[in-house]
Each structure stands twice: as C-alpha cells, then as structure tokens.
Copies of this chain bind each other. A is one copy, B any other.
Amino acid sequence: MERRNSRMQLEFVEVTMEEGTSSDSTNLHQVVPPPYKSSLQKFITKIKEILFPDDPLRQFKGQPLHRKLILGAQYVFPLLQWAPTYSFKLFKSDLISGLTIASLAIPQGISYAKLANLPAIQGLYSSFVPPLVYVVLGSSMDLAVGPVSIASLVLGSMITEEVSPTAQPDLFLQLALTSTFFAGIFQAALGVLRLGFIIDFLSKAILLGFMAGSAVIVALQQLKGLLGITHFTKKMALIPVLSSVFHNVDEWSWQTIVMGICFLVLLLGARHVSIKKPQLFWVSAGAPLLSVIISTALAFAIKAQRHGISVIGKLPRGINPPSADKLLFQGDHLVLAIKTGLITGILSLTEGIAVGRTFATIRNYKVDGNKEMMAIGFMNVVGSTTSCYVTTGSFSRSAINHNAGARTAMSNVVMSVTVLVTLLFLMPLFQYTPNVILGAIIIAAVIGLIDIPSAYLIWKIDKFDFVVMLTAFFGVIFISVQLGLALAVALSVLRILLQITRPKTVMLGNIPATNIYRNIHHYKEAIRVPGFLILSIEAPINFANITYLNERIYRWVEEEEATIKENVCLQFLVLDMSAVSTIDTSGISLFKDLKNSLTMKGVAIVLVNPLSEVIDKLKKSDDGNDFIRAEYLFLTVGEAVASLSSAMKRKTPTME
C-alpha cells in the first residue's frame, strides 16, 4: 500500500481524463499552447521591452508627415513644446522664481566650487552656461540647474586623491573639466543606449542613507572654514577630519567662529521659517545672499583679514572662458578623470532625474528618463568646454524654484542672465566675502539632505531596506563616498539574488464553498484537500533556485506523507505555476528530477496554469516526460482538483 505502482495509477488518471473531456468538456478549460512566435520575434519583443518600455515612437503613429516632423523636433528640443504658447503671464511667474533661485545660486555656486576644491569663480561659470543648454533640451519645468553639493564633494575628493588643488591648481582644474566631460559623455551615452534603468539601482533607501552621510561629510569639511583652520586634512572620512580638527586647536580663530555661528543661526532660522510656512519660501531663499552681503560689508568695514578671518579674495571679471583646450585625453591621470566622471556622472544624474520626476509627479506631466539623461549629459559636455564643472538639477534650488511659482524652464534663463550680470559687473563685490560664510551656507543647505521621517518610515516598512540605508550612511561616513555607495548597491543586489535563490513556495488550500485556493498560512479558513499537495511557486525558476526548489518541494511531499489521514495517501502534487513568469534550461530539468523522485513514491505531478514561456520550453524539451500532455495540465487549481478527485475516488475502492 505504501509504494503503489505509479504507472498503473497514471494510466488510470489518463482514462478518467479522456472520459472527462468527452462528457464534461464544458466545465474543463484546456491549457492551450501560446500562439507561435519565431525566436527572432521573441528576441525583438524582449529588446523592445528592455530598451523601449515607453514606446517613444507611439505618438508618431498614423500622423501626417509635417506633423511627424514637428513632433520629432519637439521630441529632440522640448523647448518647442512650450515656447510657441509662452505668454507674458507665464514669464512674470518665471521672472520671480528665476530671480529667487539666482539669489540662492550665486552664493551656493561659490560655496560648492570651494567644496570641490576649485576656484570660487567656477561655481558661477557653472551656473551660467548649463542652465541655457538645459532650457533647450530638458523636459522638466521645475529643475533649477547648476552645481550641487554631493557631486562637488565627490569630484573634489576623488581628484584630490591624486593631485593637490593647492600645489597644482591648473592640473586640478583641467582634471575637473575632463571629468565633467566624461561625466557628460557617460550620461548622454546611458540615454542614447536607453540604459537609464541603471540609475534605478540607487534605490530610495540607498539615496536616503547616502545623502545623509554626504551631508555629514560635507558639513564636517566646513569645520575648516568655520573654525578658521589652515592645516586641514585632505581626507573626507569622519575620523581623519575629526582628528584634524582636534589636533589643530591652536589654529582655531575665535573671530571666525563667532561670525560663522551667528550666520549659521541666521540661515538655519530662515530655513526653519520656510519649512513651517511654505509660502515664506523667500525667507530661506534670500537668506544666503543676505548673509553674503552683510558679512561682506562687515568684513570690509572691520578689515576682517587683520582679525584672522580669511576672505575669498579677487575674482576675475567676465564670462566663462572657453576651455576645450584644457581637456586632458592622455597622461597619468586619464584613468582618474574617467573614473571620477563615471561616479559624479551617475550621482548627478540620479539627483537630477529624481528631482525632475518628483516635481513632474506633483504637477502631473511626464519626464522621460532617457531624454533627461541626454539633456544633462549634453549640458555637461558643453559645460566642460566652457569652464563649467559637473552640474545637474539641484534638490534644494528646484524645490524653491517650484515653490516660487516657476511655470517653465524659462526661470533657468532668468537665473542664468542674473549670473551673467554678476559675472560681468558685480565680481569685485565678492572680494571681501569671508570664507566662513560659505561654510555656513553649505551647512545650512546640506542639513536638508538628512531626512529622518523617511528613514523612520523605511524602518517601519522594511527592515532590510533600513539596513541598506545604514550601510550607505556609515559607508559614506567611515570609508568613502564611492565605497559606501557601492556597498549599499551590492547589498541591495544581493538581496534580490537571495530572493531569487530562495523563492517562496506556499501551500494552498481550498476556501470553503468556492473554487478559490489560497495560502493556508494566510487564510486560516482554507482547508487542505486529502490526497493532494497543492503548492504555488512564486518566482521564476532558474539555475539559481532549482536545487532549493527540488529540496523544498521534496520536503513538503515527505512532510505531507507523514501526516496521512483517513487512508487517503498523497497521490497528486499540484504545482500552481501562475507566478512562474520565466524559466531557463535548468528550470526545465527541475520538473524531470521531481518527476523521477516522485514517481517512486507514486505521486503524480500536475501543472496548473503554466504561462506561455513555460509551456513553450517544456514542449521543446519534451522527451517522453509528457508534462505538456492534457491530463497533467489544468487552467485552475479548482479544475485540477475536481477532475483528479473523481479519478481518485473511483480508484480507492479497488485498492482496498
């Protein structure tokens, strides 16, 4: 009785099925093979789905030629979508928001250039040309373009590893521009090759941890300026910076510290006001410029340098000089420039696209990721030839742009023109701006990157994501920005691979008085069907999980056999395949192995609702295993159980 003759049983089932199909044909629904598609067709479909999920040519379908041309031009230059209907009313909004972000962009530009160990003027250059390029090519209406803190930090720290910004300032600048060039090429290439999904691997959890960590690192770097230390470490990580701070206590300048703390309080206060009352956005938007003006006037009045307060010094007047001749395509540092370009490229891309998408969702328009990549990439390539370093859409300035009522990308033009005026006429005014104020501006800006409530939400929803976030945070603080990020991404990918390696298999039971079968550990009312083991496999089956699935399913069967009741021993293993979206050659072998080991036990395998790819491949590999014969295939678990139960009932008496 324990070991039944499996062949006999299988034949029995067959007979019953044939009877079934003749009499109950209206109740049983056949699993049909999918419509035929050649390998080439499948390949094209797959490539389309991988590279063109948004089907960008869709809008061109069925349009007359001139319309196609217009749509094509609009596709390449999104400016053409809104420029024709641009009105004075829209311009009024854009003018206000443009001036608002300019008042923020000028002090931040100078500060971030310092953060990247570049001359302050580079920050203003980078706020002039790139916005103009973006206006023509970009599709976001809210993005405020210019240098950003994280990319500046990473660019500066990576190049500083090989070249000293103080000993070799020219080479340093050349490498920064070259890195910007490679960043742009890389960004545009991702867009052209439609590989934009690569940035999706920087998940929200990673970004949260990474930005908070960067904020800490950036803020710590400002201790140099805030404390007036002259001999400061070139390293970025927490420990060398803190040790540098406390080993140079004799260099601390109390005048600098007092000034820094006063303005930091002012800036943080302004930020607080704007957070509490969003309509007062102009308070935090204007505070940095106001601080610069006051502190510069103060420094000029008290002759700050005599009191140990360092100032920016003379800045050149005039617009961006061309810099194509400064790009280095050979020499010892080429690899460094490419590496820096890749990393700052991907970081600035992530920030720019995340910001663009956020505001597009709020205002309900669409931002095309791949197109944005091309826009940002081209902007950086152009930037690298006009003395600009890496730029993208900034989190903080875009938010203020949006709050200030920007309607189109024209606000970037307004900002750019304001920067132009500054470059042409106002540069001498910055001569006496104290460095300490730049540090205060940066700290006030990056504090906004630390988002505790979101971190708490992640903790609540998903502990593993929280661990990923902490990895990014501590990795950035204690090791380095690049390695912290890489660790967190590796951890996320590892998790996905683990999920693949250990797919869920759940036991289904019948929900009484229905044909519905659900997880018996979730739906307590679901009951098992005697003689059946119904499992749902909830993942693609592939080389990475067949060993596990084989062991796991075998264990389910053994456990089920150990709990036999009422003389009905296990006869059918029903595998619900609804969730097995893909399968590979190893996956196919799982069924053969399972069949081999279960036939010995007298258990027949029945497949329910295999999807087209699975049917297809089972068919192709069929060498007498018969998995795709109708008597082993059912469209729903309910039908499988109904049909097979009748076979079983008729059989039991003959066995006893």
Instruction: Show the binding face of A for B, using Cβ within 8 Å.
Output: 26, 29, 32, 34-35, 39, 43, 49-50, 53-55, 58, 197, 200-201, 203-206, 361, 364, 366, 369, 457-458, 460-465, 492-493, 496-504, 511, 513-516, 518-519, 521-524, 538-540, 542-548, 551-552, 554-555, 578-579, 581-582, 584-586, 588-589, 593, 596-597, 600, 609, 611-612, 617, 620-621, 635-636
Contact = CB atoms under 8 A, between A and B. Distances in A.
Nearest to A592: B361
Contacts of A462: 584-585, 617
Contact of A621 (B461, B501, B544, B581): B461
8 contacts: A49-B502, A200-B545, A203-B543, A205-B584, A361-B597, A457-B621, A515-B515, A539-B540
A131 to B, nearest CB: 26
B636 A581 contact: no
B514 A53 contact: no
A581 B584 contact: no
Given A585-B461, A597-B364, A29 B511 contact: yes
B35 A585 contact: no
A39 B463 contact: yes
Nearest to A49: B502
Contacts of A34: 521-522
How many copies of this protein are present in the complex? 2
Contacts of A493: 497
Contacts of A524: 35
A136 to B, nearest CB: 24
A599 to B, nearest CB: 10
B522 A596 contact: no
B518 A609 contact: yes
Contact of A464 (B58, B499, B584, B589): B584
A506 to B, nearest CB: 8
B589 A460 contact: no
Nearest to A523: B32
A370 to B, nearest CB: 11
Nearest to A205: B585
A267 to B, nearest CB: 31
Listed from nearest, the 10 A-B pairs whose CB atoms lie closest are A203-B543, A579-B579, A538-B581, A522-B612, A34-B522, A465-B585, A504-B581, A462-B585, A461-B585, A458-B585
A492 B543 contact: yes
Which of A206, A538, A551 is most buried by chain B, counting CB atoms within 10 A of its CB?
A538
A400 to B, nearest CB: 22
A589 B204 contact: yes
Given A53-B552, A500-B500, A538-B611, 19 more contacts: A34-B522, A35-B521, A197-B548, A200-B546, A201-B543, A201-B544, A203-B542, A204-B543, A205-B585, A460-B621, A461-B585, A461-B620, A462-B584, A465-B585, A492-B543, A496-B500, A499-B540, A499-B582, A511-B635
